[in-house]
């Protein structure tokens, strides 16, 4: 799951194609669709079996007025979506706690990722 902070949200579809997997079913919008219409930043990332994130006391993310984060968009990735075709559901999500009192320290996320792929028994992609 990825929680994005956006200036404006992306378009609303029943399911997003994040560009990782191209789904040919007519139930879903195909091709990459942006999570945010403008100003995308990943604020939180979680994967199956990863520990939960508890920020220390007095630490938080600044969102809303006078920030570039006006909307929060949760993107959930599934290995197999077949159970949703006939109306199956899932209860994945995140709990958010908020305050209108500014936090003394700001939290941030530094996400390192790669789209690179090196085939088996090769030293590079070429």
Locate 23 and state its tokens: 């789904």
Spell out the long-range contacts of 111-115 with Cβ–Cβ below 8 A and sequence spacing 24 or more: 111/42, 111/45
pTM of the model: 0.70
> If pLDDT is split at 50, 70 and 90, which confidence band does 24 have?
very low
Least confident among 13-27, 33-47, 61-75, 77-91:
13-27
| Cα-based distances in Å from 91 to 30, 76, 81, 102 | 24, 11, 14, 31
pLDDT in tens, 81-112: 888 888 888 888 889 999 999 899 999 888 77
* Domains delineated in the chain: 1-115 (2.60.120.310)
Question: Tokens 């090769």 label which residue?
Answer: 122
**Are the C-beta atoms of residues 103 and 58 closer than 8 Å to each other?**
yes
């Amino acid at each position: 799951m990825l929680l994005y902070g956006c200036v404006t949200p992306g378009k609303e579809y029943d399911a997003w194609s994040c560009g990782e997997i191209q789904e040919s079913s007519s139930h879903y919008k195909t091709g990459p669709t942006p999570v945010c219409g403008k100003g995308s930043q990943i604020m939180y990332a979680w994967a199956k079996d990863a520990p939960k994130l508890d920020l220390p006391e007095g630490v938080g993310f600044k969102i809303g007025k006078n920030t570039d984060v006006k909307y929060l968009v949760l993107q959930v990735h599934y290995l197999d979506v077949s159970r949703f075709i006939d109306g199956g559901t899932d209860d994945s999500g995140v709990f958010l706690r908020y305050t209108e009192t500014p936090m003394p320290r700001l939290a941030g996320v530094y996400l390192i990722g790669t789209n690179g792929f090196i085939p088996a028994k090769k030293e590079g992609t070429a």
